[in-house]
Structure 1
Amino acid sequence: MRLLLGTLKIAAALVVLSIVWVAAYRWLPVPMTWPMARDAMAGKHIARHWVPLSQITPAVSRAAIGAEDARFCAHNGFDFEAMEKAAARNAAGKALRGGSTISQQTAKNAFLWPGRSYIRKGLEAYFTILIEAIWGKRRIMEVYLNIAEMGPGVYGVDAAARHYFGVSASGLSPRQASRIAAILPQPIKRDAAAPGRAVKRYARRIERRVRVVGREGIDGCLR
C-alpha cells in the first residue's frame, strides 16, 4: 500500500511539474532543445535568435502549414486522417512518411529527445495535449518556428533567414520561405540557398501552397 501511495505521489508530482514547465514556456523562450544540446556538447557553433511571430513574415507560417500540416488551424493537435494516410503509404512500401502535426513536432522539439520508442511517442502525445490547451495555436507556431533545426547548427527561422539569404525573418520572400520549409525534413543534408533539383521542385510546390493558404484563410488561427 505504501509503495502504491508513493508511486501515485511521484506520478502526481511529475504531472504538476510538467504543467508548470509547459506554462512557463507559454511566455518564456525555450532555452535549449535536445539537438541544440547535442551540437553544444560537440563543440559546434549554434546560431539562433528568438523572434516573436509578429516579426516573422506570414509567408513562413503559411509555408510551414502548406508543407507540414494543412489542417493546423482545424485540429486539436492530432491529424488522424494524415496518420492513416501515412500508415497506408508506408505499408505499401513507398517512401516512409510521418503523420506528425506541427503541434506534435513542437512538443517533441521543446520537451523531448529524438527517437521512435513507445514511451517517447506517449510523452509526445501528452505534451501535445498540454501545449494545445495552454499555449494556443499562435504560440505553438511561434515556438515551432524558433526552435526547429534548419541547418547545421542553425535553429529557428530568423537564424535560417540570415544564414541562407542574409535577411531577417521579417524580410523573407515567399520563395525563400518555401525553400526553408522544403529543407525541414532533412535540414543537415539540404541547403535552402543552393537547393538541388528535387528540393527546388518541392519548394515550388510549397510556394504555390503558400498562396492558397493565404487566399483561403487556412492560417486564420494565426491572424
Structure 2
Amino acid sequence: MPAGRWSAVRRAWRARRRRFLLVALSIFLLPYLLIFLYLLDFIHPVSTLMLRDLALLRGYERQWVEFEDIAPVLVQSVMMSEDGQFCVHGGVDWGQMRGVVEDALEGEQTRGASTIPMQTVKNLFLWNGRSFVRKALELPLAIVADSVWSKRRMMELYLNVAEWGDGIYGVETAARHHFGVSAAKLSRRQAALLAVSLPNPIDRNAGKPGRGLRRLASVIERRASRSGGYITCLYD
C-alpha cells in the first residue's frame, strides 16, 4: 500500500476511535448529568425496565405519587426490609459490602448488600442481573446520587420506579393493583407485604402471598412498628 494511502487509513482509524471514545464517555457521564436533572421535583423519571417494556411494545402501568402522599407505614416497611441504615450511610453500606466481599473470597454464598440508593440508580440507569461490571458502575452512582438528592427525594424516586409485578411500577400503582387502595391508605400489613415482595416482585405476589411471604411480612411488620429511630431523615 502506498505511504500516502496508508497514512490516510491511519488517520481515518484514529478519527473513528476518537468518535467511539467520545460516544462511550458521553454514555458513561449521562447518568451523572441526569442525577442533577432529577433534583427537580416536577421531573418524574422512568426506569430502564420501563423503557425495555416500551421497546418490546408491552407497555407498563405507573402513576407517580409525591412522597407526602405515601403512607409512612410503607416507607418504614421498605426501609426495614431493604436498607435499615438508609438514614446514616452515604449511599453505600460499607460494612455490609465488606462482609459480601469476604464471603465471596471465602467461596461462601453471598448475601445482598444493595442499599436503597444503589437500587435506585440501578433501576434508573443500569440493568438487572448480578455482575461485577454493573456493581462497579452502581457504587459511584449511588454515592453521587446520595450526596445530591435529599433522602426524601431518594425515597420518592425509589418508590416510584420500583417494580411490583409484571408491568407494575411505583407504589401507587402497586397499592391499587394488589389491594385496591391508594398508597396513602395502605395498612401496616399491606405495606409489609409490598416491602417483602420487592426483591422478587414477579414471583412474590403481595396481593396473593404464600405462607413464606406472609411469615416474612410479619417480621417486617414488627420491625416497622419499632422503626422510629431509623427514619428521622424522612420525617421531622
How high is the TM-score relative to the length of structure 2?
0.82
SS in structure 2 at match of 1:220: coil
Q: CA deviation at 1:120?
A: 2.0
C-alpha distance in structure 1 between counterparts of 2:66 and 2:92, whole Å: 24
User: What corresponds to 1:66 in structure 2?
Assistant: 80
Q: Counterpart of 2:140 in 1: which secondary structure? A: helix
Distance 1:134 1:22 in 2: 7
Unaligned runs of 5+ in 1: none
C-alpha distance in structure 1 between counterparts of 2:196 and 2:109, whole Å:
16
Query: Structure 1 residues 100 and 9 mapped into 2: Cα distance closer, same or farther (>3 Å)?
Result: same
Map residues 150-161 of structure 1 onto 2, 5 A cutoff: 150-161=164-175
Q: Distance in 2 between matches of 1:159 and 1:74?
A: 29
Residue 123 of structure 1 and its aligned partner are, at CA, apart by: 1.6
Contact 1:30 1:110 in 2 (8 A): no
In 2, the alpha carbon distance for the partners of 1:68 and 1:108 equals: 14
Q: Using a 3 Å threshold, how does the CA distance of structure 1 residues 208 and 85 change in structure 2: closer, same or farther?
A: farther
What is the CA deviation profile of residues 81-110 of structure 1, one whole-angstrom value per residue up to 9, with x for unaligned ones? Answer: 222344556678776521010110011111
Partner SS for 2:226 = helix
Give the 3-state SS of the residue equivalent to 1:99 in structure 2: coil
Is 1:165 equivalent to 2:179 in the alignment? yes
Contact 2:31–2:125 (CA<8 Å) still a contact in 1?
no
| Residue 229 (structure 2) pairs with residue 220 (structure 1) | no
AA of the residue aligned to 2:33: V
Aligned to 2:119: 105
What count of residue pairs does the alignment treat as equivalent? 221
Percentage of pairs with the same residue: 42
Query: 1:184, 1:91 → 2: CA distance?
Result: 28
Match of 1:184 in 2: 198
Structure 1, 183-192 or 9-18: larger mean CA deviation:
9-18
Query: In the TM superposition, what is the alpha-carbon distance from 1:194 to its structure 2 partner?
Result: 1.2
Partners of 2:45 and 2:124 within 8 A in 1: no
**Alpha-carbon distance in structure 1 between the residues aligned to 2:88 and 2:149:** 15
Aligned alpha-carbon RMSD (Å): 2.8
Structure 2 distance, partners of 1:151, 1:36, is 12
Structure 2 counterpart of 1:119, from 133, 149, 155: 133
Q: Distance in 1 between matches of 2:22 and 2:58?
A: 40
Q: 1:77 & 1:218 partners in 2: Cα distance?
A: 15
Give secondary structure in 1 for the equivalent of 2:230: coil
1:195 aligned onto 2:195: no
Q: Is the 8 A contact 2:172 2:182 kept in 1?
A: yes
2:90 aligns to what SS in structure 1? coil
Distance in structure 2 (CA, Å) of the matches to 1:7 and 1:42: 27
Q: Is the 8 A contact 2:38 2:45 kept in 1?
A: no
Mapped to 2, the partners of 1:171 and 1:29 lie a distance apart of 24
CA shift for structure 1 position 114: 2.0
Describe the SS at the equivalent of 1:77: coil
| 1:128 pairs with 2:108 | no
In structure 1, what is the Cα distance between the partners aligned to 2:128 and 2:158? 15
Shift of 1:157: 0.6
CA shift digits 1:34-66 (9 cap, x unpaired): 211222333334111111111101111111110
